[in-house]
Amino acid sequence: MNKKTKWLSGSLVIVVMFMALVISALPRQSTVNAGVDNGYYGKKAKYVFFFIGDGMAMPQITSTEIFKGTLTSDNPMNQEKLSFTSFPNLGMQTTHSSNSFITDSAAAGTALATGHKTDNDVVGVDPSKKIKFKTMAEMAKEKGLKIGIVSSVSLDHATPAAFYAHEGSRNDLYEIGIDMVNSGFDYFAGGSLLQPTGKKKDQTNILDIAKEKGYKIVNEPDAIMNLTEKDGKVIAFRNDLAAESAMQYDIDRQDKTSLADYTKKGIEILDNPNGFFMMVEGGKIDWACHANDAATTVRDVMSFDNAIMEALKFYALHPNETLIVVTGDHETGGMTVGFAGTKYTTAFSMIGNQKLSFEEFDKSIKNYRETVGANDANLEDWLPVLAQNFGLTEFSDFEKNRLQESLSASMMDPKKRIKDEHSYLLYGGYEPFSITVTHILNQKAGIGWTTYAHTGVALPVYAQGVGGELFGGYYDNTDVAKKVMSIMGVEFQQ
Ligand SMILES: [Zn+2]
């Protein structure tokens, strides 16, 4: 080797070493998805709010804004914006899971919390169920941030679970509960647990295990509101919850603790010099959409928006250190603004006449079935109720026939009902009379539904604050997680 080639090979080694250094210094996430930049290089966000409206996509958002408009003005074209639709940054995320274009909340939650695709039903692990995906909340905790998880549904439900649990199935509820108390996260609030003592109710209560691990369990409304950061790690939920250990639908809530109350309290408890990460789920938007109940849906979107406003108050005090991201995990119900029967018109003020959720209305139908019974059931008995609770006073013959048919179906013992295609398409497994009433009301208002499950459409992602500009564009739900991680200063793990 002569002098010249020696010099050349020497400098080549230096160049290669330099390149290797440059490549290793690049944030990994910026190279994961071609065309999508998930790398944030500015000052990291100290406070991160991740709001997930379960089942909330553009139709739920637009419907709520039209509905809100009916509350403040008689002008039928009035619309009132939700707080987050004024955020300066907007993007779109695709939502498919690794095995379906129609994701469930477990796979979508896993994508949003970890940046990884997995199959429907799977929480925080890969489809083979062998590899655990680290969540952004776990990473943030390792970095010294305090962590809060708030949901209007039970804390072991798929979306909250996706931030702390690693289980093969979302139905492994006891194991998910164990993962929850092992997470060491600082604040859990909203709903309680679906199976605190396991499927057979023969295991140690998860809340007792939580106490051993240093959690304070708080159930009294005043005690919840009096919590401070001095109380340490907390699990807060009221004992007067609705079905399935979830909070009430907002339309039925009355003066009970709201999602905004739990969010505000979370901010007080989590605020500390190292910063915090808080995930807040509006979990019952999804449930109301599964049941095709628009009035209950828009009230829950408004309640979710109230929780976001608490984050905005905090943001106003720390604008250069806070990131707020608001999105959904998938659309539910195939909801839309527009129905064949109402063509180019809508009448959203009609859903404002509904005074209770389908779930509460189901209770009076059950009571009627058990006291009056199939033989004496009469639609006439229900007309004052429909006027009072739904504002429904006029029906076409077609609608009357549907009410009659569904009332008869509701008078059958739920265990003996025919579960054929016809009845599924009409009622989706819900209380036939109840869902027919909300279908008729929604259709009169110009709101359509296509399914009792989820749909596969893309969703909007709204962002405000530190790194918010990263959320512009069209990307995958896994990119949402990678962006948040990057802005929070934690590293996405392959
Ligand atoms: Zn969901």
pLDDT of residue 35: 76
User: Mean pLDDT lowest for which of 28-42, 107-121, 333-347?
Assistant: 28-42
Q: If you average pLDDT over residues 275-297, what whole number do you get?
A: 98
Please tell me the distance between residue 459's alpha carbon and the centre of ligand 1 in angstroms.
12
Please tell me the distance between residue 486's alpha carbon and the centre of ligand 1 in angstroms.
24
pLDDT at 342 over 70: yes
Please tell me the distance between residue 379's alpha carbon and the centre of ligand 1 in angstroms.
36
Residues, CB within 5 angstroms of ligand 1 (ion): 54, 105, 286, 329
- pLDDT tens-digit readout, 172-194: 999 999 999 999 999 999 999 99
- Is residue 86 domain-shared with residue 197, that is, in the same domain? yes
pLDDT of residue 118: 98
Query: What value does the mean pLDDT of the chain take?
Result: 94
Please tell me the distance between residue 471's alpha carbon and the centre of ligand 1 in angstroms.
21
Please tell me the distance between residue 91's alpha carbon and the centre of ligand 1 in angstroms.
19
| SS3 labels along 30-50 | HHCCCCCCCCCCCCCCCEEEE
- Is residue 460 domain-shared with residue 440, that is, in the same domain? no
Confidence of residue 494 (pLDDT cuts 50, 70, 90): confident
- Is residue 84 domain-shared with residue 197, that is, in the same domain? yes
Tell me whether residue 275 is in a domain.
Answer: yes
Please tell me the distance between residue 35's alpha carbon and the centre of ligand 1 in angstroms.
27
Determine how many CB atoms are found less than 10 A away from the CB of residue 477.
27
- Is residue 405 domain-shared with residue 481, that is, in the same domain? no
Please tell me the distance between residue 78's alpha carbon and the centre of ligand 1 in angstroms.
30
- pLDDT tens-digit readout, 15-66: 555 555 555 544 444 434 567 899 999 999 999 999 999 999 999 999 999 9
Please tell me the distance between residue 124's alpha carbon and the centre of ligand 1 in angstroms.
15
Please tell me the distance between residue 146's alpha carbon and the centre of ligand 1 in angstroms.
25
Q: If you average pLDDT over residues 116-125, what whole number do you get?
A: 98
pLDDT of residue 7: 53
Tell me whether residue 7 is in a domain.
Answer: no
Please tell me the distance between residue 469's alpha carbon and the centre of ligand 1 in angstroms.
26
Place of tokens 């208002």: 445
Tell me whether residue 23 is in a domain.
Answer: no
DSSP state string for 74-93: S-TT-----GGGG-SEEEEE
Q: If you average pLDDT over residues 322-339, what whole number do you get?
A: 98
Please tell me the distance between residue 448's alpha carbon and the centre of ligand 1 in angstroms.
20
Q: Is residue 381 within a helix (H) or strand (E), and if so which, with residue range?
A: helix 379-390
> What percentage of the chain reaches a pLDDT higher than 70?
93
- Is residue 387 domain-shared with residue 442, that is, in the same domain? yes
Measure the N-to-C terminal CA separation of the chain; round to a whole number of Å: 43
Where residue 350 falls (left for φ over 0; alpha for ψ -120 to 50; beta otherwise) is alpha
Please tell me the distance between residue 106's alpha carbon and the centre of ligand 1 in angstroms.
7
Please tell me the distance between residue 409's alpha carbon and the centre of ligand 1 in angstroms.
29
- Is residue 248 domain-shared with residue 372, that is, in the same domain? no
- Is residue 460 domain-shared with residue 325, that is, in the same domain? yes
- Is residue 112 domain-shared with residue 133, that is, in the same domain? yes
pLDDT of residue 161: 98
pLDDT of residue 249: 98
Number of domains in the chain: 2
Tell me whether residue 175 is in a domain.
Answer: yes
Tell me whether residue 41 is in a domain.
Answer: no
Residue 322 CA: distances (Å) to CA of 275, 409, 473: 9, 52, 21
- Is residue 180 domain-shared with residue 261, that is, in the same domain? yes
Q: Domain span at residue 239?
A: 47-335+453-488
pLDDT of residue 6: 55
Q: Give the strand pairing for 234-237 and 216-218.
A: parallel
Please tell me the distance between residue 350's alpha carbon and the centre of ligand 1 in angstroms.
27
For 437, the token pair is: 């009433």
- pLDDT tens-digit readout, 241-256: 999 999 999 999 999 9
Tell me whether residue 197 is in a domain.
Answer: yes
- Is residue 293 domain-shared with residue 341, that is, in the same domain? no
Q: Is the dihedral of CA 262, 273, 276, 37 positive or negative?
A: positive
Q: If you average pLDDT over residues 198-205, what whole number do you get?
A: 97
Please tell me the distance between residue 452's alpha carbon and the centre of ligand 1 in angstroms.
13
Please tell me the distance between residue 368's alpha carbon and the centre of ligand 1 in angstroms.
33
Q: If you average pLDDT over residues 328-338, what whole number do you get?
A: 98
- pLDDT tens-digit readout, 398-438: 999 999 999 999 999 999 998 999 999 999 999 999 999 99
pLDDT at 9 over 90: no
- pLDDT tens-digit readout, 216-238: 999 999 999 999 999 999 999 99
Buried b vs exposed e over 373-402: b needs ≥16 C-beta within 10 Å?
A: eeeebeeeebeeebeebbbbeebeeebeeb
Tell me whether residue 3 is in a domain.
Answer: no
Please tell me the distance between residue 140's alpha carbon and the centre of ligand 1 in angstroms.
23
Please tell me the distance between residue 70's alpha carbon and the centre of ligand 1 in angstroms.
28
If you count DSSP H runs as helices and E runs as strands, how many of each does the chain have, helices first? 17, 14
Tell me whether residue 494 is in a domain.
Answer: no
- Is residue 52 domain-shared with residue 106, that is, in the same domain? yes
pLDDT at 306 over 60: yes
- Is residue 305 domain-shared with residue 362, that is, in the same domain? no
pLDDT at 98 over 90: yes
> Where residue 151 sits, what CATH number does that domain have?
3.40.720.10
